[in-house]
A and B are shown apart, each in its own frame.
Chain A
């Protein structure tokens, strides 16, 4: 079993829909990251969370430390949001290495 699990693996949506991607982890963490990887391969860091909730534009990320669960929400989705979204955690015991989820491939159609 992976230490970081994401669901769903694949997601298709119509433009304007509200999207939720989930991440569960089984290790103690010092921080959780949500990353976005576009088809060209480059990766952008969207959020770094250690508690609570963060919002940036149409993106919202939440984390529940007790339940070891995080969600990434996209409001009013747009075709340009199509990408792979990756959850990654930094272990409490190794302060620098990231443990990656397998990613969620999102396609938003106009």
Chain B
């Protein structure tokens, strides 16, 4: 079946630094990838939609200069949290859509802690 690999699974960083999270589709080409943020005991909140080779579309209220998304190939999308602050601490998860017959495949998520 379709697999999406997300790395790292957890990361701790200092305030002011940047963190990059990778999402790779291992056995299919992902035409569209989604990035979500999840707070404890809450549902997923869509941050942005990225299509290969084009700029990401950000949801209202999401700072595009803070959360940089790159979808350079059909198998890789990256989310970079720039100048991280403690309030950016959260669980980030990606999902990918290739062949719509198979629906969505989710990464395993990244727990970011900014100290």
The answer to whether A96 and B106 have CB atoms under 8 Å apart is no
Tell me the bound Cα distance from A42 to B111 in angstroms. 11
The answer to whether A45 and B43 have CB atoms under 8 Å apart is no
Task: Determine whether A59 belongs to the interface, using a CB cutoff of 8 Å to chain B.
Answer: no
Tell me the bound Cα distance from A22 to B94 in angstroms. 25
A92 nearest CB across to chain B (Å): 14
Task: Determine whether A21 belongs to the interface, using a CB cutoff of 8 Å to chain B.
Answer: no
CB-contact partner of B104 in A45, A102, A103, under 8 A: A45
A72 nearest CB across to chain B (Å): 15
Q: How large is the interface on A (under 10, 10 to 19, 20 to 34, 35 or more residues)?
A: 10 to 19
Tell me the bound Cα distance from A44 to B107 in angstroms. 9
A41 and B43 in contact, given A33-B104, A48-B103 (Cβ under 8 angstroms): no
CB-contact partner of A96 in B91, B97, B111, under 8 A: B97
Chain B interface main SS type: strand
Q: Quick one: which of A54-110 are within 8 Å of B by CB? A: 86, 96-98, 100-103, 105
Q: How large is the interface on B (under 10, 10 to 19, 20 to 34, 35 or more residues)?
A: 20 to 34
| Chain A residues in 8 Å Cβ range of B38 | 41
| Chain B residues in 8 Å Cβ range of A41 | 38, 91, 93, 108-109, 111
Residue ID in chain B nearest A4 by CB atoms: B43
Task: Determine whether A31 belongs to the interface, using a CB cutoff of 8 Å to chain B.
Answer: yes
Residue ID in chain B nearest A98 by CB atoms: B104
Q: List 25 A-B contacts (CB under 8 A).
A: A33-B104, A40-B108, A40-B109, A41-B93, A41-B111, A42-B106, A42-B107, A43-B93, A43-B95, A43-B106, A45-B103, A45-B104, A45-B106, A48-B103, A86-B44, A96-B32, A96-B34, A96-B49, A97-B46, A97-B49, A98-B46, A100-B43, A101-B43, A102-B42, A103-B43
